[in-house]
Amino acid sequence: MSGSFEQRLGDLGEQRIQREVLQPRYGGTEGFGDDSAFLAKVDTPSELVATTDSCPTPVVNILREPDLFHAGWLLATINLSDLAAAGAEPLGLVVNYTLPKTTTVREFERLLDGVDACCHEHGTKVAGGDIRDGAGQLTATAIGRCAPGSRLRRSGAKAGDRLLLVGSPGYLWAAALLETGRATLPAAARDEIWQRACRPTAQLKAGQLLAGYARAAMDVSDGLFATVRTLGEANGLGAAVTGEFELDEPLAEVAAQCGLRPFDLAQTWGDWGLVAVVRTEDVKVVEKTLRAESVAVQEIGTLTEDKRLTEGTAPWRGIAQERFSASSWHGGELSTLLTEVLGV
């Protein structure tokens, strides 16, 4: 489509979009153009799992010039992260794009680039989907498989089980603090934080490794507080978190410059880690197993019979990004968001 990137989707129509944009990209995918997507031949007994999620406006698109690549990457991550929380291997992604007719081919290509790059990074693919015109809405369905009986759920935990946070949190909101001038770092460190913020990783490898150990698991999509609270409710338990946390070194420096504790940055949303619940006697072997695969993990607390949530000895009044509430993420003024999320 050389020379036509500035054309709008409304100028092309569905048939030309299929023929000129999607066919060159996905034409080699088995089942392309059929009414249903082909995912994979299943030769061994397995359990199939599926998840569907829509993509909000990425925070990074508010911090800098908007780029639909980031929305595409986030759309894939959001869905693959739910598969990670089940301990599943991804089979493929089915996407649904509702886009304004004024969307240019260049913008559409950037969206597709983001989805495809994230899928490639996570060892999966786009298997099919749909496109239509209308108010912007990006949705995907991810399909995965687990070995029989190995699927991780939110329930199954007991009082005394330990909480492990898997992944390296804090990159998204550290990037926001740097972009708004609340903290400063050398260019190399700043660039690394920005790239990590733009390309969060679904913990698929960790989820599959945890399937033999974890009693329950959940991805940290709405913040650590909301995740631990939900796990507690699913098991009729409370939780005592330590409030202590080790951030990656450049993030620790950002937190210090802003007068934040490492835990303040760690409990935010936007980095797509996992919380796994494991028996006390399994903590060390789980940590060793994950670290051997270069997956960051640290213990953050314990599930309790007492249904309260505490941080140290005080009630935990954490941050929760909750839909259909005042804290539901729909974009907004960045300075207000930083106050709401981090209190700065």
- Residue 327 confidence class, pLDDT cut points 50, 70, 90: low
**137 and 181: one domain?**
no
Residue 204 pLDDT greater than 90, yes or no = yes
In a domain, 3, yes or no: no
Does 201 count as an annotated binding residue? no
Is 179 found in the same domain as 66? Answer: no
pLDDT higher than threshold 50 for residue 309? yes
- Please compute the mean of the pLDDT values over residues 72-95 and round it to a whole number: 97
Same domain, 315 and 274: yes
Structure confidence at residue 324 (pLDDT): 65
Residue 248 annotated as part of some ligand binding site: no
Per-residue pLDDT at 310: 97
Whether 124 has a binding-site annotation, put simply, is: no
**What pLDDT does 332 receive?**
64
Residue 106 inside a domain? The answer is: yes
Segment 280-289 long-range contacts (CB within 8 Å, at least 24 positions apart) = 280/160, 280/161, 280/162, 282/213, 283/162, 283/164, 285/213, 286/164, 286/210, 286/213, 286/214, 287/164, 289/209, 289/213
Q: Is 116 annotated as a binding residue?
A: no
* Residues 233-291: tens digit of each pLDDT: 999 999 999 999 999 999 999 999 999 999 999 999 999 999 999 999 999 999 999 99
- pLDDT bin (cut points 50, 70, 90) of residue 198 is very high
Q: Are residues 293 and 338 in the same domain?
A: yes
Determine whether the annotation assigns residue 222 to a binding site: yes
* Residues 329 and 202 grouped into a single domain: yes
Q: Tens digits of per-residue pLDDT, 92-150?
A: 999 999 999 999 999 999 999 999 999 999 999 999 999 999 999 999 999 999 999 99
For residues 68 and 44, what is the distance between their CA atoms, to the nearest angstrom? 38
The Cα 272–Cα 53 span in angstroms is: 14
Q: What is the mean pLDDT of residues 40-69?
A: 88
Per-residue confidence band for 1, with pLDDT thresholds at 50, 70 and 90:
very low
By DSSP bridging, strand 309-311 and strand 238-241 are: parallel
155 pLDDT band, cuts 50/70/90, is very high
| Domain identity same for 166 and 125 | no
What tokens does 191 get? 């660039």
Whole-angstrom distance between the N-terminal and C-terminal Cα of the chain?
47
User: What CATH number did the domain enclosing 201 receive?
Assistant: 3.90.650.10
pLDDT confidence of residue 2: 41
pLDDT at 39 over 80: no
Q: Which contiguous run of DSSP H or E holds residue 254? A: helix 249-257
pLDDT of 3: 41
Res. 326: pLDDT tops 70: no
- Give the pLDDT band of residue 320 (cuts 50, 70, 90): confident
Q: How many domains does the chain have?
A: 2
Examine the domain organization and report whether 19 and 85 are in the same domain: yes
**What mean pLDDT value characterizes the chain?**
92
| Tokens 């991804």 belong to residue | 90
Q: Based on the domain organization, do 58 and 174 belong to the same domain?
A: no
- For the record, the structure tokens of 65 come out as 């010039």
Query: Known binder of ligand: residue 161?
Result: no
Q: What is the pLDDT of residue 38?
A: 79
Band (pLDDT 50/70/90 cuts) for residue 318 is confident
pTM above 0.85, yes or no: yes
Would you say 104 is a known binding-site residue?
A: no
Q: What is the pLDDT confidence band of residue 42, given thresholds at 50, 70 and 90?
A: low
> Domain boundary at 94, 117, 146, which?
146
When pLDDT is cut at 50, 70 and 90, the band that residue 330 belongs to is low
221 assigned to a ligand binding site: yes
1 in a structural domain:
no
Res. 9 pLDDT band, cuts 50 70 90: very high
Give the mean pLDDT of 6-19: 91
- Whether the Cβ atoms of residue 89 and residue 204 lie closer than 8 Å to each other: yes
Residue 133 assigned to a binding site = no
Looking at residue 231, its pLDDT comes to 97
